[in-house]
A and B are shown apart, each in its own frame.
Chain A
Amino acid sequence: MVISAIAQGLLWAVLGIGIFTTYRILNFPDLTAEGSFPLGAAVAVTAIVNEIHPVLVMGLAVLAGMSAGLVTGLLYTKGKVPVILAGILVMTALHSVMLYVMQRPNLSLLNHPRIFDSLAFLPNYFDAVVVGLAVVSLVIGLLLFFFYTSLGQAYIATGDNEAMARSFGIQTDRMKIIGLVFSNGIIALAGSLIAQNNGYADVNGGTGVIVIGLASLIIGEVAFKDVTLGERLISIVIGSILYQLLLLGVIRLGFDTTYIRLFSASILAVCLMIPQIRRALKLDTLIRKEG
């Protein structure tokens, strides 16, 4: 079971990394994620059912996610639609896109090949661990290469200080579009992996994924402070695994899985409040000392 949780953590980590590239670097929340994640799943499952190779399928999912990100990016930068609203619009529209792609609300992979099948000789769950590790390493490697190019540095600067970036001739609108395109491509990749692992895709599969992605991100940040960009990306992976282990623990304690989202949201809420809680506790000890 622990191996299963680690495998899940690795696969879901891709989502956390995708969310990180906008939420933490550009400093805005992108709600497109709740649409691009199931879109990646829908595209992947449909393509596999149509007998396209599972690896190629993941490329298609990435392209689909990138297009979704492009639309959000154009709405936000050229259309001046507030970014949260732009994300909600695209997320809503994608629901119909997924129905069009799959021609039905959900689609099963039963009796079809998956990316994990090529590793079928491994013991249970280890196939997912290997695939997860490979994809996570690839994504982190590519992102790190990007962040340390001239373009990537301009991208980071845009999120860090937009006025300054523009004053140095950085086309900040273009950077935001690039960020949304990359982020949603990665998120759709996560969707295609999870769908193959679950064995199906569902148009409603995106509900709550932002919470899961943010939870791995925030747990990683709470556990590891002041780290380099590379270490930060790895910390998201660790955060994602810790989050899945937490879920496993709670399920073991006999928590009704019907209410799992309440638990997910609570974990994230607590993690987000940790700085405040710490401050409150410190204040407490100070007062006691004085008294």
Chain B
Amino acid sequence: MTTLLNLKQATKTIQNESDTNTTILDHVDLTIRKGEFVTVLGGNGAGKTTLFNSITGTIELTSGKLYIGDKEVTRLPEEKRARHISRVFQDPKMGTAPRMTVAENLLLALKRGEKRHLLPRKMKAQRDSFQTLCASVGNGLEKHLDTPTGHLSGGQRQSLSLLMATLTRPELLLLDEHTAALDPKTAKRLMELTQEVIETHQLTCLMITHRMEDALKYGNRLIVLENGRIKLDLNAREKAQMKLEDLFVLFEEEKAQII
């Protein structure tokens, strides 16, 4: 399988108010191959979100290198990386433009990574396909094409965010606890939709989750982060043998260490 993303000795340190350095990512080496669906586990402060932020370019690495394919992108700004990488945030408010309608948001997403020109946006040509797309979710989103997204429920917003993130079939999809802010039933439905979208379009995906059941149930690789390092990296076969209890034990150990 071809390499899609490569982190070499990726490190992020931040300076605290007291002038002490804290290392959030500690010389991480990570290779993601095409077609992998990696679930990412880790306690608070393990560096999961920082890992994502460095991949998208929201923050710059202190040292180390980052490659997409064989192209180095360590210094490439976030908006340039967006052509390859898309992301769904944890907070439903983060993923959509609240005053713009569902259809307008989708239209923005359709032009991911393209230059935005001073030409009419051509909404009519896309409306029917947007309608079909929204109807496929099955939560009534298709009735709200002209509703500002700020008026939607959290579940509708997150499924829209997922649709927007996957609309242009990005090379890499990052899901940052995207079901965490939803009630259990909605979260379950969104997770099923996620699985369906990833399978249909054979997307490469990294998914942060705090639900160990999901981490085992979905994906074909599992990594566990701890103190900015990769503590555990299981391939599909090893992951299949992993049981929920084993994971719990792993995290109990971690807690014990902190105490």
Is B4 close to A, CB under 8 A? no
Within residues 61 to 103 of chain B, which ones have a CB less than 8 A from any CB in chain A? 78-80, 82-83, 86-87, 89, 93-100
Complex Cα gap A215–B149 (Å): 28
Given A157-B97, A160-B100, CB of A168 within 8 Å of CB of B108:
yes
Interface string of A168-194 (1 = CB under 8 A from B): 111110000000000000000000000
Question: Which residues of chain A are within 8 angstroms of B78 by Cβ–Cβ distance?
Answer: 166-167
Interface size of B in residues (CB-CB distance below 8 Å):
33
Q: Is the interface of B mostly helix, strand, loop or mixed?
A: loop
Q: Which of B79, B96, B116 contacts A150 (CB 8 A)?
A: B116
Interface size of A in residues (CB-CB distance below 8 Å):
22
Q: Which of B10-18, B118-126, B212-220 contacts A (4 or more CB under 8 A)?
A: B118-126
Given A153-B107, A153-B121, A171-B79, CB of A164 within 8 Å of CB of B100:
no
Most buried by B among A149, A151, A164, A166: A164
Complex Cα gap A113–B124 (Å): 47
Within residues 117 to 159 of chain A, which ones have a CB less than 8 A from any CB in chain B? 146, 148-154, 156-157
Given A149-B121, A167-B82, A171-B79, CB of A154 within 8 Å of CB of B94:
no
Contact B112 A164 (CB under 8 A): no
Given A163-B94, A167-B86, A169-B80, CB of A151 within 8 Å of CB of B100:
no
Q: Which of A150, A153, A166 contacts B82 (CB 8 A)?
A: A166
Question: Which residues of chain A are within 8 angstroms of B36 by Cβ–Cβ distance?
Answer: none
Is A198 close to B, CB under 8 A? no
Contact A150 B111 (CB under 8 A): yes
Question: Which residues of chain A are within 8 angstroms of B99 by Cβ–Cβ distance?
Answer: 156, 160
Contact A149 B119 (CB under 8 A): yes
Contact A167 B83 (CB under 8 A): no
Complex Cα gap A171–B80 (Å): 8
Q: Is the interface of A mostly helix, strand, loop or mixed?
A: helix
Question: Which residues of chain B are within 8 angstroms of A157 by Cβ–Cβ distance?
Answer: 97, 100, 108
Complex Cα gap A75–B10 (Å): 32
Contact A151 B97 (CB under 8 A): no
Is A165 close to B, CB under 8 A? yes
Beyond known contacts A153-B121, A163-B94, A167-B82: 18 more, CB 8 A cutoff: A149-B116, A150-B116, A150-B120, A153-B108, A156-B100, A160-B98, A160-B100, A161-B93, A165-B97, A165-B108, A166-B79, A168-B82, A168-B113, A169-B83, A169-B111, A170-B79, A171-B79, A172-B79
B residues engaging A (CB < 8 A)?
A: 56, 58, 78-80, 82-83, 86-87, 89, 93-100, 104, 107-109, 111-114, 116-121, 164
17 pairs, CB–CB < 8 Å, chain A vs chain B: A150-B121, A153-B104, A153-B116, A157-B108, A160-B98, A160-B100, A163-B94, A164-B89, A164-B97, A166-B79, A166-B82, A168-B111, A169-B80, A169-B82, A170-B79, A170-B116, A172-B79
